[in-house]
Amino acid sequence: VLSGCGVYDGTEIHEASAILVHLSRGGAEVQMYAPDVPQMHVIDHSKGQPAEAESRNVLVESARIARGKIASLAKLTTADHDAVIFPGGFGAAKNLSTFAVDGKDCKVNREVERVLKDFHKAGKPIGLCCISPVLAAKVLSGAEVTVGHEEEEGGKWPYAGTAGAIKELGGKHCVKEAAFSLTPFYEAHVDTKNKVVTTPAFMCETELHNIFDGIGAMVKNVLKLTGK
């Protein structure tokens, strides 16, 4: 499920690409979706500032990542899929929810909320990375998720405050690494009860290959939970 195209106003493109690579390697068939709604705003990524008087549609922008093969989120049903995965990027906090503005008092897009609740009720796994675990924390009370560490640690974890927000949303936060320095194992947290799998991804200031491998751990565990 995508939220636009570009880290500051949509889907984090490297995360989406990593997810697609790992799903392909795992032999999964993939269909991409996005809500057919306006973006909260448009960011000029070269300046890091809003592009005034410009508007874009989340579905249309997400189609850039999907190479055109995408459908409205309203068409996503649990009957057609074994699992659902949400990449990160600020779009998850701006277009899939209002978390970027409202924090613990945020609202989640009704189709996103429907999808999360439907997959949870059906006992089908849900994967999320980077900032998107806040969606599960808001919608699935008591879900265990990770966004990495709970302290900034000199800028290594610049969004560490999100962990506190997750607790305020009703979720349980579990501290995880983006990577271990002494072993090629990259961390994802698996909430076996709720079948929710999360990994920090770009919540950590680290090398891109660590992000890629952490997402791989998330995808691998999501596929494992499908039982196929």
Active-site annotation, residues = 130
Question: How many Å from the N-terminal Cα to the C-terminal Cα in the chain?
Answer: 21
Q: How many CB atoms lie within 10 A of CB 129?
A: 32
Furthest C-alpha separation in the chain: 49
Residues 6+ apart with CB under 8 A from 72: 33, 34, 35, 36, 59
Rg (CA), the chain: 16
What gap in Å lies between CA 157 and CA 143, rounded to an integer? 22
Task: Please compute, for residue 122, the number of CA atoms within 13 A of its CA located in the half-sphere on the CB side.
Answer: 19
What gap in Å lies between CA 13 and CA 64, rounded to an integer? 10
H or E stretch covering 136: helix 133-139
